[in-house]
Amino acid sequence: MSAVMEPGEHYRVDFERLCGDLPGARTPWVRRRREAALARFAERGFPTTRDEAWKYTDPGVIARRAFAPAPAAAPVPAPEALEPFRIKGLDCHRLVFLDGRLAPDLSDVGALPPGVVAGGLARTLEEAPDSVEDRLGRYAGDEDNGFAALNTAFLTDGVHLHLPPGAVLDRPVHVLHLSTGAGDGTVVHPRNLVVAGAGSRAVLIETYAGLHEAACLTNVQTEVLLGEGARVEHYKLQQEGDKAFHIADTGVYLPARARYRSHVIDAGGRLVRNEIRVRLDGAGSECVLNGLYLLGARQHVDNHTVIDHLAPEGTSREYYKGVLEGHSRSVFSGKVIVHPGARYTDALQANHNLLLSENAEADIRPQLEIYADDVKCAHGATVGRLDPDALYYLKSRAIDEDAARSLLIYAFANDVLDRLPLEPVRAYLERTLTARLLHGRKVEELI
């Protein structure tokens, strides 16, 4: 390897080496898009804090490091290693990806309604690339975001969920993206594509997790395309290892009366970015973005949301809460743009943070841009500490300091979990998060 290589240059070298083996390599349009994306990445590079959208999250620590593609043959973990990420009581179609590639032996998709696809995107690109030609990349973030461009260049695998018009998926699809953490400095580029035809319904649950403490990078991109009146419920449970980098970009397209609800839960990772861009492009469409982050040590989590109201009578609701300990830091950016013609838009946004340490920091950036009449837009944001009056009140009721604090923290976070419609997911998170948040302390005894 040359010592004078520009930062990021090794990605081109890796690309030259790997591109013949990446999925869809024989399909001209796939190859053209990969090359265009790589060229875009070469031109833009990684974002820096000089980019407005990355002001509070410095990707330099990723940019400076030469992440190598994870080996194609990931070590297959023992089944019990997956247990902590199983959601008890959830009857689901299960897909497991190891280091970015579908692991059929660990997956259990089961029976699907006619015409429904729930599998690996790599397989689609190999066997039926034409079925996704006009969809893949349509709402990608490649143009503005070097990470997204890199994802398109290297995209290996990810979930491909396709629902024909009117299809109703009764059982949720649970996708476990697992980093086996073979070593520091590896990168995977998961790519997910959800196409939900008019009037269709589906629930997608994604878990991102690491099996080992490795400084690896997960650079994921997800596109969610709904048809008219379609409804998609999307959970993302981010439980990466403590040293992991997780950069995610999600683009969502909503035509008339479509509804997309997202629940992003961040518990793991060293540096995490969840970008969600939603285009409400048809009358009466609706999006809900909920989030909860529970951070400690030196974790940094950035939730970056952009909601474009392009059509009348759209509704958007954002509700993010975070609990921060140690030297952790959170960023919430909520941009809502009500474009001309998007009359009767109804947009609400809230972000509340509970700081448990002097050294934790929460940055909040609400941005409302309104270019239409007759709209309702509001936002609320708080950064606070545990209420001393509430602590005193609880202690005066015989509850000790530790338990009182636990109870108040639990109540703060549980408010978001209470909004999760799927009971097994809620219960799973309550178990895992409560234990993490309270260091396994006394709330368990109180319940």
Partner 1 sequence: MLSIRNLEAGIDGKPILRGLSLEIGKGEVHAIMGPNGSGKSTLAHILAGRDGYEITGGEVIYEGRNLLEMPTEERAREGVFLAFQYPVEIPGVSNIYLLKAALNAVRKHRGEGELDAMDFLKLVKDRMNLVEMDEQFLYRPVNEGFSGGEKKRNEILQMAVLQPKLGILDETDSGLDIDALRVVANGVNALRGPERSLMLVTHYQRLLDYIVPDYVHVLAGGRIVKSGDRGLALELESRGYGWIEEELREGA
The span from the CA of 157 to the CA of 135, in Å, is 16
Does the footprint of partner 1 cover residue 397 (CB under 8 A)?
Answer: yes
Mention every residue, 6+ apart, whose C-beta is less than 8 A from residue 276: 250, 252, 262, 264, 289, 303, 304, 305, 306
CB closer to partner 1 out of 371 and 393:
393
Least Cα distance to 78 among 110, 103, 108 occurs for 103
Residue pair 224/250 in contact by the 8 Å Cβ criterion: yes
The CB-of-413 to partner 1 minimum distance in angstroms stands at 9
Can you tell me which of 85, 414, 420, 429 binds partner 1, judged by CB under 8 A? 414
The CB-of-437 to partner 1 minimum distance in angstroms stands at 13
For residue 4, how far is the Cα from the chain centroid? 35
Residue pair 23/121 in contact by the 8 Å Cβ criterion: yes
Does the footprint of partner 1 cover residue 91 (CB under 8 A)?
Answer: no
Least Cα distance to 292 among 141, 437, 90, 443 occurs for 437
CB closer to partner 1 out of 6 and 400:
400
Can you tell me which of 340, 376, 393, 435 binds partner 1, judged by CB under 8 A? 393
Can you tell me which of 143, 400, 423, 444 binds partner 1, judged by CB under 8 A? 400
The CB-of-390 to partner 1 minimum distance in angstroms stands at 5
Does the footprint of partner 1 cover residue 381 (CB under 8 A)?
Answer: no
**Ordered DSSP codes for 206-240:** EEEEESS----EEEEEEEEEE-TT-EEEEEEEEE-
The span from the CA of 211 to the CA of 179, in Å, is 6
Residue pair 252/285 in contact by the 8 Å Cβ criterion: no
Residue pair 56/165 in contact by the 8 Å Cβ criterion: no
CB closer to partner 1 out of 67 and 293:
293
The CB-of-358 to partner 1 minimum distance in angstroms stands at 18
Site for partner 1 in 153-172 (CB under 8 A): none
Question: Of the listed pieces 60-68, 184-192, 330-338, 393-401, which binds partner 1 according to CB under 8 A?
Answer: 393-401
Does the footprint of partner 1 cover residue 403 (CB under 8 A)?
Answer: yes
The CB-of-388 to partner 1 minimum distance in angstroms stands at 7
Can you tell me which of 390, 419, 432, 441 binds partner 1, judged by CB under 8 A? 390
Does the footprint of partner 1 cover residue 399 (CB under 8 A)?
Answer: yes
CB closer to partner 1 out of 232 and 420:
420
The CB-of-90 to partner 1 minimum distance in angstroms stands at 25
Does the footprint of partner 1 cover residue 319 (CB under 8 A)?
Answer: no
Helices marked H in 368-400: 388-395
CB closer to partner 1 out of 202 and 407:
407
Does the footprint of partner 1 cover residue 401 (CB under 8 A)?
Answer: yes
Does the footprint of partner 1 cover residue 43 (CB under 8 A)?
Answer: no
Does the footprint of partner 1 cover residue 410 (CB under 8 A)?
Answer: yes
**Ordered DSSP codes for 54-76:** GTT--THHHHTS-PEEPPSSPPP
The span from the CA of 220 to the CA of 249, in Å, is 6
Does the footprint of partner 1 cover residue 407 (CB under 8 A)?
Answer: yes
For residue 374, how far is the Cα from the chain centroid? 32
Can you tell me which of 392, 421, 435, 444 binds partner 1, judged by CB under 8 A? 392
The span from the CA of 361 to the CA of 358, in Å, is 8
Site for partner 1 in 116-145 (CB under 8 A): none
Can you tell me which of 81, 381, 408, 422 binds partner 1, judged by CB under 8 A? 408
Question: Of the listed pieces 44-52, 112-120, 278-286, 406-414, which binds partner 1 according to CB under 8 A?
Answer: 406-414
Least Cα distance to 275 among 259, 291, 286 occurs for 291
DSSP 419: T
- Compute how many residues bind partner 1; rule: CB under 8 A: 24
Please report, to the nearest 10 degrees, the dihedral formed by the alpha carbons of residues 310, 44, 159, 100 taken in order.
-160
The CB-of-398 to partner 1 minimum distance in angstroms stands at 4
How, if at all, do strands 93-98 and 101-102 pair? Answer: antiparallel
Does the footprint of partner 1 cover residue 387 (CB under 8 A)?
Answer: yes
For partner 1, the binding residues (CB under 8 A) are 387-390, 392-401, 403-404, 407-408, 410-412, 414-415, 446
